[in-house]
Amino acid sequence: MTDILLGAVTLGLLWAVMTIGVYITYRILNIADLTVEGSITMGAAIAASLISKGVNPYAATLFALFGGMCAGFVTGLLHTKLRIPPLLSGILTMIALYSVNLRIMGRANISLLRVDTVYTALYNLGLNRAMAVTVLGFFCVLGLICILYWLFGTEIGCAVRATGNNPQMARAQGINTKSMIILGLVISNGLVALSGALISQSQSFADVQMGIGSIVIGLASVIIGEVLFSRTSFFSILISLALGAITYRVIIALVLKMGMPANDLKLFTAITVAVALSLPMFRAYLSPVKRSFREDD
Amino acid sequence: MLSVKGLTKVFNIGTVNEKAALKDISFSLDEGDFVTLIGGNGSGKSTLLNCIAGVYPVEHGSIIIDGLDVTKLNEHKRAGMLGRVFQDPMLGTASNMGIEENLALALRRGQRRTLRWGISNKEREQYKKLLKRLELGLEERLSTKVGLLSGGQRQALTLVMATLKNPRLLLLDEHTSALDPKTAQMVLELSDQFIRESRITTLMVTHNMRDAIKHGNRLIMMHNGRIILDIRDEDKQKLTIEDLLKRFGKASGEEFDNDTALLS
């Protein structure tokens, strides 16, 4: 049981990187960006194919980050320059990335069993496999939280937040909203690809299908983090996102342990997200003050 | 200071809904002019403001601010010269961000945004001083999210943001019409005070004839996308609502059809 929980925490830390990326588009930019389904696989594909060709794993992971940023840039261009709605822009990039990822990998699956990964240095220090991933994942998430806290507190970061919150106001304050949307998508998808690179190295393989459903996992983690943990300051929100990703993995580990077939996992996740997203509606419906109309319909 | 020449704006070109909102409009503002812009619904006054601000591209004509032709310039690039307050109090501020963060965004209007921290302690003192003048207690709530403020408070804050950097031109687009009468009066008095103090060149759209007569040194009336009256200085001081209605009838050949303008 402890093993299962520790495994869940480990995996949760790697997915936390992705969750923070999803938060940037979903909450800060106010865009549901489906590019992540492709960019998480892209990160894994770039890292795995480079590492299997003998490239230094740290360099390969950086290339993965860069690849994800490019994917975000493409979605950003489709949305801002060609004026395609954001949801559709994300879907287009996601579909395109499926082919791109197959090209990068050359086949549907790459094994990383007998090669050095970013975790190897920590095994060499005497840590076991799970501990190595946990330690690296922890410091990676911690570092990212600090960097993003700083970034979104800067003048440019504030401009990105204003753009997502009220684009009209942002433009009136001289903010180039198109550039800010592109910037947000670039950062977000970079993080998602980084997460994919870390995940593929910890599970020792990359698969072209591994991104399917990842947006829903990311959203579930964001919502769990927001509901269960603090959201008073931006810093505590970032921490609660990481905790949300871990909690999601723990929940999944527990329901699997209780005997739910693994094939039902995506259905379970989708239902969880649907319920969580509709909570405000149910709360309003059940509250003692009955409304005669609802604002949104 | 502001010079508008032959401005024409047509919506939905080439469709059955084609509508010419501005028809060959020309006028210019002198430094320090405080113009009230009045007209019925659909007369084109808000469209004119939005064209000057760069929200809509224009079909013909030119807009020159301070000798710089801004006709083709993007909205966010013109923003450094302009201060804007909108009709809807929700539009002028970012609700998920704090009062001080909103002010900090406005302070950087027209400047290159960098990776420096988004707000400094020195600024906070400046904001406190400015907010104190509103007498709304906002100076004690600098980090409060703007979404928690009332419409009147948000509009007052937007006004402070719009005038923070002494804009070359202040555009007020019926900025009091969504507020209750008392709050509207407060926001209008504040606007008047700010504008006079810093002698900001201002274009204020209003529905209210009394306000249009009471404030500013010049009154422009629009009808069907054209300017039909332009009254200034002594002539404007002598103006009454009856005069205005009579002159509107003469210039447009119609009765003034706006109840809110007459009744309030």
Residue B19 has pLDDT above 80, yes or no: yes
Contact A166/B91, CB-based, under 8 Å? yes
Burial category of A70 from C-beta neighbours within 10 Å (exposed 0-12, middle 13-18, buried 19 and up): middle
Render pLDDT for B23-35 as a digit per residue (tens, 0 to 9). 999 999 999 999 9
For residue B188, the distance in angstroms to the closest alpha carbon of chain A comes to 21
Query: What average pLDDT does this structure show over A287-294?
Result: 56
Residue B238 has pLDDT above 90, yes or no: no
Query: What is the residue-wise DSSP string for A90-106?
Result: HHHHHHHHHHHHHHHHS
Q: Which residues of B touch A165 (CB under 8 A)?
A: 94-97
The reply to whether A102 falls in a domain is yes
Structure confidence at residue B243 as a pLDDT band (50, 70, 90): confident
Out of B84, B95, B116, closest to residue A166 by CB: B95
In angstroms, rounded to a whole number, what is the distance separating the alpha carbons of residues A244 and B251? 67
pLDDT at A286: 75
Render pLDDT for A104-126 as a digit per residue (tens, 0 to 9). 999 999 999 989 999 998 888 88
Query: What is the residue-wise DSSP string for chain B?
Result: -EEEEEEEEEESTTSTT-EEEEEEEEEEE-TT-EEEEEE-TTSSHHHHHHHHHTSS--SEEEEEETTEE-TTS-HHHHGGGEEEE-SSTTTSS-TTSBHHHHHHHHHTTTS---SSBS--HHHHHHHHHHHHTTTSSGGG-TTSBGGGS-HHHHHHHHHHHHHTT--SEEEEESTTTTS-HHHHHHHHHHHHHHHHHHT--EEEEES-HHHHHHSSSEEEEEETTEEEEEEEHHHHHT--HHHHHHHHHHHHSS----HHHHH-
Domain range for A83: 2-212
User: Do B43 and B62 meet the contact criterion of CB atoms below 8 Å apart?
Assistant: no
pLDDT at B264: 46
| CA B131 to chain CA centroid, nearest Å | 20
Structure confidence at residue A288 as a pLDDT band (50, 70, 90): low
| Tokens 């703007």, residue located | B146
The reply to whether A269 falls in a domain is no
In angstroms, rounded to a whole number, what is the distance separating the alpha carbons of residues B187 and A82? 40
pLDDT at B251: 78
The reply to whether A229 falls in a domain is no
pLDDT at B258: 56
Backbone φ and ψ of A253, nearest 5°:
-60, -40
Contact with chain A for residue B85, Cβ under 8 A: no
pLDDT at A289: 59
Render pLDDT for B26-65 as a digit per residue (tens, 0 to 9). 999 999 999 999 988 888 999 999 999 999 999 999 999 9
DSSP H or E run through A294 = none
**How many domains are contained in chain A?**
1
Q: List residues bridging with B69 in a β-sheet.
A: B64
Alpha carbon separation from B215 to B73, B177, B186, B204, B218 (Å, rounded): 31, 15, 14, 9, 8
Domain boundaries, chain B: 2-263
In angstroms, rounded to a whole number, what is the distance separating the alpha carbons of residues A194 and A41? 10
> Which CATH number describes the domain made up of B2-263?
3.40.50.300
Residues of A near B (Cβ–Cβ under 8 Å) read: 151, 153-159, 161-162, 165-166, 168-177
The complex scores an ipTM of 0.91
Structure confidence at residue B88 as a pLDDT band (50, 70, 90): very high
Which of B97, B102, B105, B120 to probe the A interface (max A CBs under 10 A)? B105
| Tokens 């709050």, residue located | B183
Model-level pTM? Answer: 0.92
Query: What average pLDDT does this structure show over A60-75?
Result: 98
Render pLDDT for B117-174 as a digit per residue (tens, 0 to 9). 999 999 999 999 999 999 999 999 999 999 999 999 999 999 999 999 899 999 999 9
Structure confidence at residue B262 as a pLDDT band (50, 70, 90): low
For residue B252, the distance in angstroms to the closest alpha carbon of chain A comes to 34
The reply to whether A276 falls in a domain is no
Residue B255 has pLDDT above 70, yes or no: no
Render pLDDT for A224-258 as a digit per residue (tens, 0 to 9). 998 888 778 899 999 999 999 999 999 999 999 99
Mean pLDDT taken over chain A: 92
Q: Which of residues 96-125 of B touch A (CB under 8 A)?
A: 96-97, 101, 104-106, 108-111, 113-119
Which of A152, A161, A173, A295 to probe the B interface (max B CBs under 10 A)? A173
